[in-house]
Chain A
C-alpha cells in the first residue's frame, strides 16, 4: 500500500462574513482508515465535509484526493471524482418525491446510466445490507421512521460502491438503540 494519503487537506480556510469557521485545516486520511472529527455545534465540521464534497467553495487551501487537487479540477472531472464518494447527510436528505428504492438507485440510474431494472435489483441488495426488507423499497421516505430513513440514506451512500464514505452526524436525533444499529452498520 502506498504511503500517500487517500485524502489530504492543506491549509483549508473558510469564512462566512466576519466569522472564520475553518482556520487553516491540515489533515491526512490514509486508505482503509477511519477518521472522526469531533467538535461543538457551529465549529465547522459540516463545513469541512461540504468543502471536500465541493458543495462549499473554500477561501484558501488544497483538498487532494489521490494527489489530485479537487479545487483545480474542471466541473466534469470533479463530477467523475464524485462517483468515488458516498455521503450520509445529517438529516438523511432523501428525495421525498421518489420511492425508497429509487432513492437508493438514484446515482445508478441518473449518474451511471444503468437500466431501472438493474438499478432496482442493486437497490434491494443494498437495502438488505442495512437490514431493510425488499418491500420497504416501494414505500415513500415520509412513511419511514427516522432510523429507517438513516438506513436508507446509508444504503444510498454505498449503492455505487464508493471508495470514500463521509458521514455527517449519522446518529443525530436517533434513540440510543437505533443509533447503535446505525453505528454497527457503518463499522
Chain B
C-alpha cells in the first residue's frame, strides 16, 4: 500500500479527497437541516389530529421509509430530468435535454428521506413531554403557541436528540448513494482514484477512515448538544 498516492497536490489524491470530504459534509449537513425542518412540519401535521393534515403526512412517511433510497435518487434525477425535458420541449419549445444539478438533487433526495425519519423521532419526543408540564402551562394562562414554544419545544428537543443523532448518521452514510448521479463526494472520489491508479484497497480504506473520522467528530458535537440540553434536568450532567 503506497500512501504517497494520497499526497496533496498534483502527484497525489489528497486534495481531491479533501474536496470530496467537503462535498460529503456539505450534502449531509444541508440535507439534514432541510430534512429536520421538513420533519418538524410533518410531525406537527401528524400531531394536529385533523385527518386532512395527518393522512398526507402518514402516507408520506410510510412511503419514504418503505422504498429504497436509491430509487428516490433515480426517480428524482433521471425521472425528474426526463420530465423537465418533456416540459421544456412541449410547453416552452426548448428541445435541448435538461439535466438537473446533481448536487442539489442529492441534497433534496437525502432531505426527503431524513424528513420521514425525523418526523417519527420528533413526534415521539413531543408525545413524551409529560401531560402535567402542558397542564401547568395552561394553568398560568399561556396560549397554545406560548405553551409549544416555551414548554413543549425545549423538552421535546432534548428527548429528540438521541434519535436525531441517529438520523444524522444515516444522512451522512446516504451521501455515498449520490455518487451514482455523479456528485464527486468521498465515495466517488475514492472510486475514481481507485480506477485511475489500480489501487482500490488504498482508496477505499482511505474512504473508510474518512467516514469514521467525520462520524466521530459529529458524534462529539451531538454529545455536547445533549449535555447542554440535559443541563439541570438529568443528574450527572
Q: Do A and B bind each other?
A: no
Residues of A within 8 A of B (CB): none
B residues adjacent to A (C-beta < 8 A): none
